[in-house]
Structure 1
Amino acid sequence: MIKNVHGNTVDYLGEAIVAGRYPVGGAVPPEPVLCEELGVSRTVVREAIKSLVAKGMIHTGPKVGTRVLPWDDWNWFDADVIAWQAKTGLSNEFIRDLQDLRRVVEPAAVRLAASRATAEDIAGIEDAYAGMKRAVMGGGDYVTYDLRFHQGLLRASHNRMLIQMSKALGALLRTSFEISTIKKDGPRKSLPLHRAVLDAVAAKDVECAEKAILVLIDGAHDDIEQVLASRRRLPRLSKPPPTLKAA
């Protein structure tokens, strides 16, 4: 999707804040400076500032100007904030926070999915699984289908709050899936684990579905912790996902 001038300005300022170019507690440049730097009108800058205030990233006042708030105040369930963090680089702390969130949210969502999923929901998750299997067997984009699989489970919960959380979890899920493609036979070994989750949800077996997703999550957690401990560079989400080679 092509963004307009307002969207591009919000992105520029948001990324600058997340990257620390405008540090926490520090001031964002005044309107005239930003207008000249970005080549936009004062109206565009003011609207962009309002958007960042709404995301909890900055505060404006007549005496203090515009200042960056502590990251604890930021709305981490905002899709833009997550995207800016992913583009800037996922820190170890951020990854671990998301891992904790995933272990709390996804099992609960899968329990609901096992009791609420419609035939259409199951068909969508089946289609995602089929895409994962094709990528493992014949090469291709495994990560995108893996992400669709898990987002399909969250949508199948038919809980609006959980569906919104999927946007925050997306950064972790994609990172986790890219790490699994690095490990030898990682995607191939994960296929039966995904199948177990899907079968349990389709059978409306709530307890079995929860146990199956926890096995999958804990395996991904171990993979990520190994990568963090090795100090290897985490995947850059600003790049297209890697593709598997044909077996």
Structure 2
Amino acid sequence: MVKNIHGHTLDILGQAILSGRYAMGASLPPEPLLCEQLGVSRTVVREAIKSLIAKGLLITGPKLGTRVLSDEQWNWFDPDVIRWQAQAGLTPEFLRDLQELRLVVEPAAVRMAAEKANHEDIAEIEAAYQGMKNAIEQGGDYVVHDLRFHQGLLQASHNRMLVQMGKALSALLRTSFEISTRIKDGPRSSLPLHRAVLDAVIAQSPAKAERALMVLINGANDDIEQVLSSRRKLPGVAGSPTHLRKNSKVHA
């Protein structure tokens, strides 16, 4: 129960920061007022503040109070921070930062995967691909299998730091994949691109695997730019995952 209260309080404060209710550089209300507003004890507020400090959102100190840090100092690899940003509303800056990060990390990882992947790695990525295919043909959660595919590539690099980064990237990648899935014909058109990446890894061809992955990432970038150029409100991705309908013509 205490954990639930802590998590709920953390979510309220985190969402308030990411939405700009508590602006960067601004002070949070005094502790007694926060307790009154949130209906929780000082212990719960203090624990939530400690968590937000650890995530890089807040700083506290004598004569300083508790202030919101610049977003450059926020931990953008923290799943909670990503979730709060999605709930507050995606921004062009957030999405473009994500795409640039993918361009730095994933091509290097897939080259390593093509050199180092073993039978277990290939089987995992094949299973993810089949899950994507089934979601398109029979309906279901395409994104969870898409995410598993890309995590499998990072795992197959057998670089411990890249594998750890893959865990941190999960929430970020889910954001991108959810947007692509909502683009008309997104999943179905990207499926053969995923197959090309997997085939190149199986063939132990690093250069071919990297080229195929770049086509895939650039396609995702085009999807995001299409959404941004539409001038419509960016889609929210904080709720339930997008499920494809059976025989749906909508794919990503």
Match of residue 22 from structure 2? 22
**What is the alpha-carbon distance in structure 1 between the residues aligned to residue 156 and residue 56 of structure 2?**
30
1:8 and 2:20 are equivalent in the alignment: no
Structure 2 counterpart of 1:49, one-letter code: I
Q: Distance in 2 between matches of 1:165 and 1:188?
A: 28
Structure 2, unaligned stretches of length 5 or more?
248-252
| 1:151-182 Cα shifts (integer Å, max 9, x gaps) | 22122223343234335543453343333333
Q: Which amino acid aligns with 1:152?
A: G
> Are residue 64 (structure 1) and residue 64 (structure 2) matched?
yes
User: Identity rate of aligned residues, in percent?
Assistant: 69
- Residue ranges of structure 1 left out of the alignment (5+ in a row): none
The structure-2 alpha-carbon separation of the partners of 1:75 and 1:172, relative to structure 1 and needing over 3 Å to count, comes to: closer
Superposed, 1:72-221 pairs within 5 Å as 72-167=72-167, 169-221=169-221
TM-superposed CA distance for 1:242, in Å, is 2.0
State the partner residue of 1:38. Answer: 38
Moved more, 153-162 or 120-129: 153-162
Matched-pair contact (CA < 8 Å) for 1:99–1:172: no
When residues 17 and 160 of structure 1 are mapped into structure 2, their CA distance, relative to the original with a 3 A threshold, is farther
Does the 8 Å CA contact 1:87/1:237 hold for their aligned counterparts? yes
1:57–1:69 Cα contact (<8 Å) kept: yes
Q: Deviation above 6 Å: which 4+ runs of structure 1?
A: none
Deviation at 1:217, TM superposition (A): 0.4
Question: Which residue type is aligned with residue 181 of structure 2?
Answer: T
CA distance in 1, matches of 2:15, 2:96: 21
Bigger mean CA deviation after superposition, 45-54 or 14-23: 45-54
Query: What is the distance in 2 between the residues matched to 1:180 and 1:38?
Result: 37
Instruction: State the distance in 2 between where 1:180 and 1:57 align.
Output: 29
- Per the alignment, in what secondary structure is the counterpart of residue 244 of structure 2? coil
Shift of 1:43: 1.9
How far apart, in 2, do the equivalents of 1:161 and 1:38 lie? 39
Q: Hey, what's the Cα distance between the residues in 2 that align with 1:223 and 1:237?
A: 15
The alignment partner of 1:60 has SS state of strand
Q: Is the 8 A contact 2:5 2:44 kept in 1?
A: yes
Letter in 2 for 1:229: S
Q: Does the residue aligned with 1:4 lie in a helix, a strand or coil?
A: helix
Q: What are the within-5 Å matches in structure 2 for residues 226-245 of structure 1?
A: 226-245=226-245
Distance between the aligned counterparts of 1:39 and 1:137, measured in 2? Answer: 48
Query: How many Å apart are 1:102 and its aligned residue?
Result: 0.8
Task: Give the deviation of 1:232 after TM superposition.
Answer: 2.7
In the alignment, the residues of structure 2 paired with residue 130 and residue 241 of structure 1 have an alpha-carbon distance, to the nearest angstrom, of: 19
Cα distance in structure 2, aligned partners of 1:71 and 1:17: 10
Aligned to 2:140, the other structure's residue is in SS state coil
Q: 1:4 deviation in Å?
A: 2.8
- Within 2, Cα distance between the matches of 1:82 and 1:89? 10
TM-score normalised according to structure 2 size: 0.89
Task: Name whichever of 107-116 and 65-74 sits farther off.
Answer: 107-116
Q: CA deviation at 1:70?
A: 0.8
Check conservation: 2:179, 2:224, Cα contact below 8 A. yes
Shift of 1:197: 0.7
User: Displacement of 1:53 after TM fit?
Assistant: 1.4
CA distance in 2, matches of 1:84, 1:187: 26
* Residues 3, 199 of structure 1: alpha-carbon distance in 2 compared, 3 angstrom cutoff: farther
Q: 1:161 to 1:87 in 2, by over 3 A?
A: farther
Residues 1:157 and 1:141: Cα distance change in structure 2 (over 3 Å): same
Aligned to 2:250: none
Q: Secondary structure at the match of 1:155?
A: helix
- Structure 2 CA distance, aligned partners of 1:63 and 1:200? 59
